[in-house]
Copies of this chain bind each other. A is one copy, B any other.
Amino acid sequence: MAATAKKVKKSSETLDDESEALEAVDSCQNEIDALNEKASEEILKVEQKYNALRKPYYQKRNEIIKRIPTFWVTAILNHPQISGILEEEEEECLQFLEKLVVEEFDDIKSGYRIQFFFEENPFFENKLLTKEFNLGSNGDSPSSTSTTIKWKPDRDLTTMLPKKTTNTRRKRNLEYRTFFDWFTDNNDPINDDIAELIKDDLWPNPLQYYLVPDIEVEPEDDEDGEGVEEFGEEADEEEVDEVEDEEERAS
């Protein structure tokens, strides 16, 4: 790093003043840092408050969703990124997904869990598959864990599926080949794109994906997203576009 700028000849008096000034900057900076910390704490409290306020609505939403048996698999299949990791056999399996729950830990910073509740199904014994992220805010290294899946005989989708070398289905630079690859992989918990899309995009508003119209949207509507719009679909469109844009830039 070029640090030539500091190397100007200075009298010892100038140096004394500069060093005094530096200490004053430091003490001022400490006041700013303390304010930043207080701001973060207050924002966290707001988020905690609204997490609690949203919770009963999420529960109610899940109860209603149970009346639409293919809701979750359809929403996932219609999601522009998450659908990319779904193999056909997995699609069949996710028909039995009757409830999805995403919960941040109480202090928000330290992590979150995604719970997949399944009906009795031909693939595995588990009623609940959980993937949980500990983001290491307390000094531990970040880690994630996932429920061990008790596959029924000859139904293990992590070994049965052909390992593709070309990426025919995935459209973006997502790291996982298949849904259960993603679910069982805990190697890089802080860069788990799929988990973040589930938490920050699918879970807050799955209806917009469930409702994606079957008809093709005319090309001229691509630009501003106006025109064809179904109920409940308007809210997060821009946000989703941003996620896509970022992914494109990153690829």
Contact = CB atoms under 8 A, between A and B. Distances in A.
B32 A65 contact: no
A73 interface: yes
A53 B25 CA distance: 17
Contact of A21 (B8, B65, B95): B65
Q: Which residue, of A21, A29, A212, A235, has the highest number of chain B Cβ atoms within 10 A?
A: A29
A132 to B, nearest CB: 22
Q: How large is the interface on A (under 10, 10 to 19, 20 to 34, 35 or more residues)?
A: 35 or more
Contacts of A32: 54, 57-58, 61, 204-205
A83 interface: yes
Interface string A14-52: 000110011011101111110110110011001101100
A50 B46 contact: no
Nearest to A8: B70
Q: Which DSSP category, helix, strand, loop or mixed, fits chain A's interface?
A: helix
Given A43-B43, A54-B32, A64 B21 contact: yes
A74 B1 CA distance: 10
A178 interface: no
A52 to B, nearest CB: 10
Contact of A207 (B5, B29, B53, B212): B29
Interface string A187-224: 00001000000000000110100111010000000000
A250 interface: yes
B91 A5 contact: yes
A204 to B, nearest CB: 7
Interface in A157-212: 191, 204-205, 207, 210-212
A241 to B, nearest CB: 12
A25 B91 CA distance: 23
A134 interface: no
Q: Which residue, of A5, A35, A49, has the highest number of chain B Cβ atoms within 10 A?
A: A5
B5 A74 contact: yes
Nearest to A250: B250
Contacts of A50: 35-36, 38-39, 42
